[in-house]
Structures are given as structure tokens and as C-alpha cells.
């Protein structure tokens, strides 16, 4: 099975328009063979300043926050519907640039669709509360958006993880400025197209690829109000250092070291299917993967031996050659 991307050059989405990058462009490679898939625009600090400025304008004018929550919710559901309508193209883009098999990319797209549907419905449920007082007082709380949410995203789920942060922020009325990974930036274009198709105000969302230097400019920008980062702990430390002077509320996810315990009376036949899923889903690139197996010493040799057999039984090859919906090895 040989498939190619639908275009050879992919621009950034900045302040409501698709445009070239101030830092030029670079080749995105197919991880299955090292060949160049397409060229991607690369943003610079000027592009980021423009994206943040427009996001600030949208927030301060109320173009997004003053909408009825039901209207924001409807637009979020339209984003999910756009991904559903372009299901095959989105999943093939994910597989070609990130490398996962088509059946895994299919699940990623469906999870993203579900995220936009869920938070589209939740947009109308973001309510404050009243607090009992005496006859002369009426106390209440009102939830307000942060403002401009800067989001620095990883490559291992180039649509789902981006959808997870984007949908939540938009449901609450935040503007979003999102930097994608240089390893898998193209898939995010489908999110940009979905946002444009759904009718969000121009400038409410910018999605672009940028290098670390430009990413640092985003994290330290004085006009952002909130920061989301998903990636390695080393990169997280650098991002948080850049953001420190602004005292930003932030959400940082750097993965885990999820342990699995195999006791003396454990069933090896029950363990192996879980190990296959826990170790090899997305080539082990997910936050709750089975990174460690702690085995009772009496079962150690057996578990190691059967685990080696499992690893040697797996088929390795270009993800695009998997049999899509009918291929279910896990």
C-alpha cells in the first residue's frame, strides 16, 4: 500500500489565515523510511508575536467570550464533525508522518472527535455557584477564562493531545496559540482547517510549527495568560524557566513510569496480552505505557522468556501498510 500526502507544502495557520513561516520551511520525514514526505512552514518570533497579538485582541474584544456558551459548544462540535467527515485523510496523515499503524491512527481520530463532542456539550455547564449568606449579603462565584492560552505540543499523538487541550480552552472562552512538534506538525493542519470551518473568530486560534527558540519566545511572551506543555522533562524545565517571570498558571505533562506488578501466583497468559498493549501501543510512546514490570523472583525467568517471544512475534513495517480497521493485533 503506497499513499502520499495530498500536498507537498503545508503552511501555518496564524490569526485566521494560512501563511508561510518567517523562518522558512523544512522537510518532514516519513519515520518508516526516512524519506521526505512534504515541506512544512516554520514560524519565527514575528509570527508568534502576531498570533499572540491577535489572540489577545479576540479575547479583549469579547469576540469569543461574549458568545453564548451554547454557540461556542456548537462550534466545538463542528470541529469534531469536520474531523469525522475527513476521517480517512486525517488518519492517513497521522500514520505517514508519525508512523503509527492505521488502526491506531483511526482510534486517535475517533478519540479527538469524542473530545470535541464532549467539551462542546460541557461548554454550557461551566457554571459558578452561590454561597449562603445572611439577609444583607449575596455571595457568588463566576468562572472566567484565563485569556490567551499558549500550548506547546508533542508528536506522539499529533491530533488527539492537541484536541484535548484546544477543546477545553475554547469551551471556556480562551484564545489559543499552539506550537506543534517539528517531528509531526502536518496533522495539526486538519485541526486548523476544522477550526476555520467551524466559524471561530479569526485570531481565536493559531496553530503553527516553530523551533525551540521560537517556542521559548512563546513561553516567555508577556501577553499570554496560561501555559500548557506536553513533552519531556528536560524540555519542560526549559519552558517553565522561560515562563517564570510572568508567573503563569500552567499545566505540564511529562509522562510517567507506570509500573506493573507480577506476583508469584500471576498468570502469564493473562499478562502477555496486557504487555502487548501496554508496551507496544504507539511504539510505547504514550504516557501510561508499561514502562516497568516488577516481577517476583520465582517467576522472573519465565516472564522474561515469554516477553522476548512476544517481542519477536511482532510485525514491524510502515504503518500505512497495516490493514486499517480490520487489523487488530492488540
Catalytic member of 182, 196, 253, 321: 253
Q: How far is CA 320 from CA 5, 61, 106, in A?
A: 12, 45, 12
**Distance of CA 312 to CAs 60, 249, 304, Å?**
57, 45, 12
Return d(Cα 322, Cα 316) in angstroms, integer: 10
Q: Which of the following is catalytic: 39, 84, 196, 287?
A: 287
Confirm if 245 and 220 have CB atoms less than 8 A apart: yes
d(CA 266, CA 116): 40
How many Å apart are CA 281 and CA 276, to the nearest integer?
A: 7
Closest by CA to 12, choosing from 4, 22, 27, 1, is 22
Please confirm, yes or no, whether 287 is among the known catalytic residues: yes
Distance, in Å, from the CA atom of 144 to the CA atom of 128, rounded to the nearest integer, reads: 9
Q: For residue 94, what is the DSSP state? A: H
> What string of DSSP letters covers 123-177?
GGG---EEE---TT--EEE-----SEEEEE--SSSTTHHHHHHHHHHHHTT-EEE
To the query of whether residue 127 is one of the catalytic residues in this protein, the response is no
Residues acting as catalytic residues: 253, 287
Amino acid at each position: 500500500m503506497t499513499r502520499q500526502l495530498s500536498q507537498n507544502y503545508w503552511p501555518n495557520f496564524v490569526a485566521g489565515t494560512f501563511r508561510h513561516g518567517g523562518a522558512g520551511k523544512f522537510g518532514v520525514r516519513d519515520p518508516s523510511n526516512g524519506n521526505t514526505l512534504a515541506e512544512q512552514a516554520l514560524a519565527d518570533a514575528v509570527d508568534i508575536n502576531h498570533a499572540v497579538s491577535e489572540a489577545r485582541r479576540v479575547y479583549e474584544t469579547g469576540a469569543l467570550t461574549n458568545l453564548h456558551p451554547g454557540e461556542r459548544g456548537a462550534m466545538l462540535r463542528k470541529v469534531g464533525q469536520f474531523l469525522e467527515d475527513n476521517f480517512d485523510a486525517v488518519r492517513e496523515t497521522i500514520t505517514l508522518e508519525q508512523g503509527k499503524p492505521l488502526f491506531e491512527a483511526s482510534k486517535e481520530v475517533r478519540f479527538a472527535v469524542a473530545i470535541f463532542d464532549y467539551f462542546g456539550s460541557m461548554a454550557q455547564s461551566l457554571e459558578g455557584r452561590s454561597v449562603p449568606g445572611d439577609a444583607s449579603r449575596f455571595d457568588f462565584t463566576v468562572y472566567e477564562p484565563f485569556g490567551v492560552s499558549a500550548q506547546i505540543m508533542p508528536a506522539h499523538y499529533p491530533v488527539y493531545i492537541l484536541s484535548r487541550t484546544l477543546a477545553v480552552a475554547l469551551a471556556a472562552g480562551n484564545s489559543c496559540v499552539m506550537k506543534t512538534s517539528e517531528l509531526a506538525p502536518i496533522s495539526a493542519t486538519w485541526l486548523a482547517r476544522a477550526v476555520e470551518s467551524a466559524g471561530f473568530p479569526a485570531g481565536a486560534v493559531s496553530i503553527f510549527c516553530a523551533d525551540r527558540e521560537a517556542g521559548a519566545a512563546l513561553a516567555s511572551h508577556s501577553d499570554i495568560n496560561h501555559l500548557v506543555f506536553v513533552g519531556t522533562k528536560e524540555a519542560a524545565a526549559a519552558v517553565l524557566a522561560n515562563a517564570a517571570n510572568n508567573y503563569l498558571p500552567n499545566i505540564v505533562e511529562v509522562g510517567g513510569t507506570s509500573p506493573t506488578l507480577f506476583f508469584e501466583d500471576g498468570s502469564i497468559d493473562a499478562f502477555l496480552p496486557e504487555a502487548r498493549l501496554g508496551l507496544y501501543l504507539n511504539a510505547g510512546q504514550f504516557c501510561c505505557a508499561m514502562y516497568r514490570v516488577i516481577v517476583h523472583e520465582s517467576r522472573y525467568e519465565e516472564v522474561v522468556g515469554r516477553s522476548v517471544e512476544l517481542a519477536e512475534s511482532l510485525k514491524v513495517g510502515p504503518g500505512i501498510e497495516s490493514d486499517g480497521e480490520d487489523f487488530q493485533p492488540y
